Structure 1
Amino acid sequence: MSDAPNGEDAARLRADRSAAYQRLLRRPDDPDRPAFLELFFDLVYVFALTQLTHLLIKKLNWQGAFEAAVLLLALWWIWVLTAWLTDQFDPQHPAVQWHVVVVMLGILLMAILVPEAFGEHGLYFAVLYVAINFGRGVFIRLAARGTDLTRRVLRTAFWFTLSTLLWIPGALVEGWARAVLWLLALSVDYVSAALRWPTPRLGRAPLWELDISEAHLAERYRQVFIIALGEIVLIMGLTFSDTGPSNFTPARTAVLVLSFASAALIWRLYIYRAGAQLASAIRVSPNPHRLSQSASYLHTVMVAGIILTAVGFTLIIENPTEQPPVAWIAGITGGPALFLAGRTGFEYLVYGQVTAPRLLGIAALGILSAFVVHLPPEVTSGAATLVLAAVAVAETARHRRHPRSPTPPATSGQRYTR
């Protein structure tokens, strides 16, 4: 006698699985604010960003910058996919909580490996990245078995398999070869997600499968941005205290004040209008998923700018009277400029247009870069802070004269509504 379930039993099994899956999902009436689990998850990124900052300080050259960018993209992509997962699945459910905690442990281990990710521990870093991504697929597969969402697992598994074919061989080579192979692997991950994981026979993921909670995701982006800003505060505080009481000089104190002022201005420039209205922009966008993805990419640029800014201020606090070498330009003016570039793209994403103050700020920082090696470090850092202040004042004045509402640029694809 066959043990296969009859038609009625099979239907009941599918119904039970569907009910179990529904219990894992966020409900429409769930609060949009992130859960404590998500805040806890973000804490591991404080350490990860600190590790990246220290890596750049020790290796502030083109190769070091390239390697740090690759590692940031890897760590950031896991954050993005975890944020999307907790946007769809209920973070109050024990199964979801355990999955996120395990991912958090993986991120912690990856962050520990950052200093030697391009050295002898490259294989460990790559295996952790691959394991976290496939583990997410296993979790969704078990949670969604018997539902149409299993197709999503197959799509992402197809593309993660392709990127794994670059991650693991990349870990077996050294230097620039590893960096290039890993960047290609990350390109597969980022681009396939942007195209909604087009897969042979399965096609692209439908928009209903990628439905998002606008307010929840916008708040998650704001929170992780604050975590990144905390990196400036943390690194400058630790650096200043490490210099010892005997080195409590006026020059160091001035740079510390400028560092804090820059962090406050970056916060102001981010949150003023566009940062606060991201949820509204996603809500009125013809393609919310595409806009949310673009927001994640632009936040990567802004976070990279914050890391470079932290590097610049760390070097100046440690050496306030030393004539800055050319490499310091990356931190002193390059960091704020990179942040403004990402913030300019973010403004376009929310309002469909770009205003002059931020572009002028980037140009001013570019001009200032030519003088970094000829002026005392506290002077150039002060000038960079003044540029950020001028942009903030100009943007505030402009908005008061011409207030705007979110008007995202038109994107392809039809809108899916709940």
Structure 2
Amino acid sequence: MTERKRAIRPMHPRDPAEPHRAATALELLFDLVTVIAIAAAAEGLHHAIAEAHAGQGVLRFALAFFAIWWAWMNFTWFASAYDNDDAVFRLLTMVIMAGSLALAAGVDALFRALDIHLVVAGYVVMRLAMVLLWLRAAGADPARRTTNLRYAGGIAVVQLYWVLLVVLGSPGSTAFVPLMLLGFLLELGVPAFAERATTTPWHRHHIVERYGLLTLIVLGEILLGASLALQAAAREAFDVRLVHVALSALVITFAMWWLYFCEEEQLHGSGLRRALLWGYGHLPIFAAGAAVGAGFAVLVDIVAGHAHVPLRVGDMAVAIPLALYMAGLWLVRDRFVLAGPAGLVLPLFALAIVALPFAFPALEAIAALAALAAAIRARLGHRHPGHHG
């Protein structure tokens, strides 16, 4: 029996130059589970803003989204380097999916009372499965054994921290949120520490595709907002403003898609510093995409008379994350690939979009600015290509 046909195979490193490397069916299933968790976080943000608890809702959305994104990202980069598609890899991936579902189920309690018991339980299940995967890789890849053991040990230690926080911490204490933030910093430090020994053989084109797929997932939250607007218009007393909300959601979704999936390369080179900036820098991009969807859901509630906040708040709930999305794209990509005026398009339009709701409610103007930003960036991008940093 050939090694390829064996149910259990050594977890040898993948070739980072492998041609035609694409997302697998298992990775797509993993993304499907991630959709549920992201939707739960976006729904929590939507209800918090609509009930006039925006500050609290944004903080708790950030906490939930970090956990969702970090678990997704760690699995994605590991799979890019070591996916051997054997039975053990498949089963451990399914364990991670089960943990993701538990995490999603706990998001509501996190938003209501900062209760993180179920979120942490699901998260720890996901991360301990990753520890087993890194240990398998350490046994089959002697050249990167130190790196892989650092990953396994670092992840295990941080999970102990989360368990202790749940057991000993009090959600009502002033130190609880700072302690959670400390846990996130510890999580972020594990790859930076591990990869300094020897970098893992992740596949650049595969990683770019995986990030693009998650971008499509978060943009789907905005399309859901458009659907909610049309449903409200059909179900309740017709209000033309709901049609405006739906059309604006479509325009903004298309503009955000156009801005992300441009002709310029998302990630040029495979240096550790650049990879960390690009990989970590996508957190505000992904979170902002989901938050724009929550903002449109807030607008639907406001127009339908189900929210406790004015229309301006709904516009801000769309404009602020949209501006953050543009700023994030500039941070991880545009400042490296565009020169001159082209490199300033996204930060300038981000400033204009975030300022607009403070002057007057104008959702249609926000959508127009988003479309204009995509058009101008595409036009100037052809004229002012930059260097790759």
On the 8 A contact 2:337/2:388 being kept in 1, the answer is: yes
Q: Distance in 2 between matches of 1:146 and 1:367?
A: 54
Deviation at 1:270, TM superposition (A): 0.9
Unaligned 5+ segments in structure 2 are 1-7
Q: Specify the code of the residue in structure 2 equivalent to 1:335.
A: P
Would you say 1:355 and 2:343 are equivalent positions? Answer: yes
Q: 2:66 aligns with which of 70, 73, 89?
A: 73
Would you say 1:259 and 2:257 are equivalent positions? Answer: no
State the partner residue of 2:221. 231
Deviation at 1:321, TM superposition (A): 7.4
Q: Distance in 2 between matches of 1:255 and 1:238?
A: 10
TM-score computed with the length of structure 2 as normaliser: 0.85
Q: Distance in 2 between matches of 1:307 and 1:101?
A: 24
Deviation at 1:242, TM superposition (A): 5.0
- 1:146 to 1:340, Cα distance in 2 relative to 1, 3 A: closer
Q: Distance in 1 between matches of 2:244 and 2:150?
A: 53
Q: Distance in 2 between matches of 1:238 and 1:57?
A: 12
- 1:316 to 1:153, Cα distance in 2 relative to 1, 3 A: same
State the partner residue of 1:185. 183
Would you say 1:49 and 2:32 are equivalent positions? Answer: no
Please give the residue correspondences for 1:194-209 in structure 2 after superposition, counting only pairs within 5 Å: 194-196=192-194, 204-207=196-199
Aligned residues: 367
On the 8 A contact 2:248/2:364 being kept in 1, the answer is: yes
Q: Specify the code of the residue in structure 2 equivalent to 1:173.
A: S
State the partner residue of 1:222. 212
Q: Distance in 2 between matches of 1:143 and 1:212?
A: 13
On the 8 A contact 1:270/1:343 being kept in 2, the answer is: yes
Please give the residue correspondences for 1:6-155 in structure 2 after superposition, counting only pairs within 5 Å: 20-21=9-10, 25-27=13-15, 29=18, 31-60=20-49, 61-90=54-83, 92-117=85-110, 119=113, 121-142=115-136, 144-145=138-139, 147-148=141-142, 149-155=144-150
State the partner residue of 2:154. 159
Deviation at 1:233, TM superposition (A): 1.0
1:145 is paired with a residue of what secondary structure?
Answer: helix
Deviation at 1:243, TM superposition (A): 5.8
* Offset from partner CA, 1:314-351 (integer Å, 9 cap, x none): 11122227772664454131011111110111224642
Q: Distance in 2 between matches of 1:57 and 1:120?
A: 16
* Offset from partner CA, 1:82-137 (integer Å, 9 cap, x none): 10121122353222222212111111110111111363752232132223212211
State the partner residue of 1:345. 331
- 1:77 to 1:235, Cα distance in 2 relative to 1, 3 A: same
1:117 is paired with a residue of what secondary structure?
Answer: helix
Of the structure 1 ranges 245-254 and 99-108, higher mean CA displacement relative to structure 2 is found in: 245-254
Q: Specify the code of the residue in structure 1 equivalent to 2:14.
A: R
Q: 1:173 aligns with which of 142, 156, 170?
A: 170
On the 8 A contact 2:110/2:116 being kept in 1, the answer is: yes
On the 8 A contact 2:259/2:374 being kept in 1, the answer is: yes
* Offset from partner CA, 1:347-380 (integer Å, 9 cap, x none): 24642767121121122123213124xx3xxxx2
Please give the residue correspondences for 1:290-369 in structure 2 after superposition, counting only pairs within 5 Å: 290-320=273-303, 324=310, 327-328=313-314, 330-348=316-334, 350-351=336-337, 355-369=343-357
On the 8 A contact 1:295/1:349 being kept in 2, the answer is: no
Q: Distance in 2 between matches of 1:357 and 1:278?
A: 17
Q: Distance in 1 between matches of 2:280 and 2:321?
A: 17
State the partner residue of 1:393. 375
2:303 is paired with a residue of what secondary structure?
Answer: coil
Please give the residue correspondences for 1:232-247 in structure 2 after superposition, counting only pairs within 5 Å: 232-238=222-228, 240-241=230-231, 244-247=234-237
State the partner residue of 1:6. none
* Offset from partner CA, 1:53-99 (integer Å, 9 cap, x none): 11112223222211111111111111111101211223532222222
Larger Rg: 1
On the 8 A contact 2:330/2:346 being kept in 1, the answer is: yes
Q: Specify the code of the residue in structure 2 equivalent to 1:123.
A: H
Q: Distance in 2 between matches of 1:254 and 1:120?
A: 35
Paired-residue identity, % = 22
- 1:361 to 1:349, Cα distance in 2 relative to 1, 3 A: closer
Q: Distance in 1 between matches of 2:344 and 2:175?
A: 40
* Offset from partner CA, 1:169-212 (integer Å, 9 cap, x none): 43331045332211110111113323436xxxxxx4213xx122
TM-score computed with the length of structure 1 as normaliser: 0.80
- 1:315 to 1:20, Cα distance in 2 relative to 1, 3 A: closer
Deviation at 1:250, TM superposition (A): 1.5
Q: Cα RMSD (Å) of the superposition?
A: 2.6
Would you say 1:269 and 2:259 are equivalent positions? Answer: yes
Q: Distance in 2 between matches of 1:301 and 1:89?
A: 27
* Offset from partner CA, 1:13-35 (integer Å, 9 cap, x none): xxxxxx9425x543564631111
Q: Specify the code of the residue in structure 2 equivalent to 1:367.
A: A
1:408 is paired with a residue of what secondary structure?
Answer: coil
Unaligned 5+ segments in structure 1 are 1-18, 198-203, 410-418
Q: Distance in 2 between matches of 1:270 and 1:147?
A: 35
On the 8 A contact 1:302/1:339 being kept in 2, the answer is: yes
Would you say 1:249 and 2:239 are equivalent positions? Answer: yes
State the partner residue of 1:382. 364
